[in-house]
Chain A
């Protein structure tokens, strides 16, 4: 039976009450307790810094050459917090409610409320670290709006919010390295979890430079390893982002929850050809000022600028007048797909829609004219002033678009199309962020918790930092308080020896296949299966077929993959092979999960279950649960965590 260990009491008192009663570890004992943290994105860096500050002995691992490179760095738009600095009706409850509703009623109320509560502390902490958030002329923090909300609660640093937040956490982490509380292992990848007497007690890590396998003990292990979007091959994730650490944990007993809940982000730069290695996101903040449209006529090949206003279909504004271009991501993505599938797409591939800044440039231009008291000016002056304002707000995004496509977005509308961006699913965790393996925790995108079936914009950064700065420092102590008498276990222990052998056997097997096909080619094929059959729209028939195809691909991989180079030494192809092998197995579970969930909700859209006007049709009576999958070797067993909504009354999500 899954116990989410949600504390008693009213929703808004649970976290306070928990903190008041949680077990503590005294400073002398903290110095004796070792904690392993895998991954150094926002969740991992903030946890490593905070736990180091508290006095724990922390070992942090990342596969990149420096902890500052983790993919949190690429988050553009911003971070939400219920500060209500804009006096526009925001509150902890409002942020909680928006997140629950945005997640299509598939997240835990207690976790989400806690997230909303600590959101305000995150902003304070980051400002204190020197994170240069955008400010108004009065010197105070600036806010912008984001999809799925009607208040302005998003804090940002131009289009580089993730970068600035991660640099803040990274600097805090490096400070602890200097103080000796954190030891950093860069260019290391976790390849096995070590369990002793039912508790996570360490990891086997591969030194990616030398190829050596290393044993590391920890009283507890924290996985802060991000999401699994790269299962689709093409995604906005970094090339190295992978599921391997989480998958090793899953195969040793950690349940994997809601794997089919993946987020397809509506505003990405479209695919240009077969050579494409990854996709680039254009921040959702662009939907604040940009208008999304397609030609009203099918197969209209005229350049965008030649299509008159009345022959354009601003389909989001038409279908969702209340939220317009700011509907949540899943809704916006599906609407784009619907238009393209119906033959209204633009660009050479016809798999794109326009994101147009012409109106915003005029609006800002006119505002500048009146602000500067310029009186009657020529239209090109208005346009030039408007472009200046847009450049200040979104300049780096526009530059990025121009570099990739060779087109100037100040002159012609951008072409965008949805792409895989975030994974709401992940390792199942309880209220304390603990997985079903004792002593093993999952933080940030690696866990399944706060976003339900769809994540709202500017909430990933919030969750990563909430988990690392303000949740794990309390909940980990509650576990370690009972572990103060456990001496460090020698890495000569048989469990370490066995785990290392398992990892080494697998590497040897991979290298000895010496087949004919490259790792990359398998990854591409896997991505195509999952994108076509478990992507923006799914159906039972397709999913059943996908499972068969993935199983066949797995067999083919293990008999025909070719990995060049050697085991001892830097070998990026070998690293990639291990990750792709795990993605293949995860791919099967995703399809299984999507097949089992006979409803549509959030990012999971089953074609069989939709309202007459094409919206997602939930089945609360039968599917209001978290699907937590237990690995049984070659199959999986489903465990259900029933979601109880005490405060929010689930209804059909409407943004009309």
Chain B
């Protein structure tokens, strides 16, 4: 793989806190290696800003290996940037070339207030899980792990849904700021497993109610969520969610 170095123009959203209006700030960055990750490129800029006496750019990040779901950012209009199935922290600079202009914004949604610069609050997701995204089993209640065989296909499908990292890119990608992909992934994960069966009907109704309460928009089937999801969670989960919701509503629980 041929490595190269590049100069870039960045347009970065700066916002002091949730009350501030916010604005774009332009930065030139030089000699960026194609081997760097996107966040390492921002690290380089931040080091420079601090040395020049400015405040560094605040952004969320933690594991930097694409699994914790903490990093966010909309890069050139795409949540997590141009690479398919990739979080911002796993995006590498070889995705760009010398002279590129890169626009960097926070995830935008009414339910995601900006905390500072590129950092937003996604605690609405925690509250949706609190509404029913679990199996009610206390520690010590469990039977032997092999007592209930689970069809491999079902277990695999449940796993595929459970791979969601709760980053919220689906919301940022959606023109309605809908959280349907996130909610459907959790509902599917648990609905597909026998352990999730007893609370299946109540769960979907409660989680949807909380989702609406948080101010997320409706789903109009544009599938932008699936296209931008770094874990490539399928919109088939949304179809399952709708089915689950309808069945629960019809059965009157």
Contact = CB atoms under 8 A, between A and B. Distances in A.
Interface stretch (A92-100, A164-172, A527-535): A164-172
A239 B61 contact: yes
Contacts of A564: 49-50, 53-56
B90 interface: yes
A162 B163 CA distance: 11
Interface stretch (B96-104, B130-138, B241-249): B130-138
B64 A164 contact: no
Given A128-B141, A130-B189, A275 B33 contact: yes
A599 B58 CA distance: 45
A276 B139 contact: no
A140 B149 contact: yes
A558 interface: no
Contacts of A538: none
A537 interface: no
B62 A85 contact: no
B66 A174 contact: no
Given A171-B133, A403-B90, A518-B47, A65 B146 contact: no
Contacts of A272: 35
Interface stretch (A131-139, A255-263, A383-391): A131-139
A573 to B, nearest CB: 6
Contacts of A273: 33, 35-36
Given A68-B166, A209-B115, A128 B43 contact: no
A139 B189 contact: no
A73 B146 contact: no
Interface in A239-255: 239-240
A171 B68 contact: no
A70 B106 CA distance: 22
Interface stretch (B117-125, B171-179, B211-219, B220-228): B117-125
Interface string B160-174: 001101100000000
A65 B124 CA distance: 11
A85 B69 CA distance: 34
A616 to B, nearest CB: 30
B142 A128 contact: yes
B17 interface: yes
Nearest to B65: A280
Contacts of A394: none
B62 A64 contact: yes
A7 interface: no
A49 B137 CA distance: 10
A170 B90 CA distance: 24
A277 interface: yes
A285 to B, nearest CB: 15
B92 interface: yes
Interface stretch (A118-126, A305-313, A481-489, A642-650): A118-126
B237 interface: no
Interface string A37-55: 0000000001001100100
B64 A238 contact: yes
A282 B246 CA distance: 43
Given A132-B159, A178-B130, A71 B62 contact: yes
Interface residues of B, number: 80
B189 A136 contact: no
A400 interface: yes
Interface in A216-273: 236, 238-240, 272-273
Given A66-B166, A135-B152, A277 B40 contact: yes
Nearest to B150: A139
B70 A140 contact: no
B195 A65 contact: no
Contact of A404 (B54, B92, B146): B92
Nearest to A83: B145
B152 A139 contact: yes
A164 B159 contact: yes
Contact of A66 (B40, B65, B123, B193): B123
A447 interface: no
Residue of A65, A70, A562, A573 contacting most chain B CB atoms (<10 Å): A65
Interface in A377-422: 399-400, 403-407
Given A74-B67, A130-B190, A172-B134, A50 B139 contact: yes
A491 interface: no
Interface in A165-187: 167, 170-172, 174-175, 177-178, 184, 186
B55 A74 contact: no
B201 to A, nearest CB: 16
A163 B159 contact: no
A341 to B, nearest CB: 24
B90 A239 contact: no
A520 interface: yes
Contacts of A133: 145, 155
B159 A130 contact: no
A565 interface: yes
B83 A403 contact: yes
A71 B68 contact: yes
B150 A135 contact: yes
B138 A53 contact: yes
Given A163-B67, A278-B65, 9 more contacts: A49-B139, A50-B138, A71-B62, A130-B196, A140-B146, A174-B126, A239-B62, A564-B49, A564-B50
List of 10 A-B pairs having minimum Cβ-Cβ separation, nearest first: A139-B149, A171-B134, A128-B142, A124-B142, A132-B159, A178-B130, A406-B1, A50-B139, A127-B145, A238-B62
29 contacts: A53-B138, A65-B122, A66-B125, A68-B166, A69-B70, A74-B68, A83-B145, A124-B142, A125-B142, A127-B142, A127-B145, A128-B143, A130-B195, A132-B162, A134-B159, A135-B150, A140-B146, A157-B162, A174-B126, A174-B130, A178-B131, A184-B126, A273-B36, A275-B44, A277-B43, A277-B64, A399-B85, A400-B90, A403-B66
Interface of A: 46, 49-50, 53, 64-71, 73-74, 83, 85, 121, 123-130, 132-141, 155, 157-158, 160, 162-164, 167, 170-172, 174-175, 177-178, 184, 186, 209, 236, 238-240, 272-273, 275-278, 280-281, 399-400, 403-407, 469-470, 473, 516, 518, 520-521, 562, 564-565, 569-570, 572-573
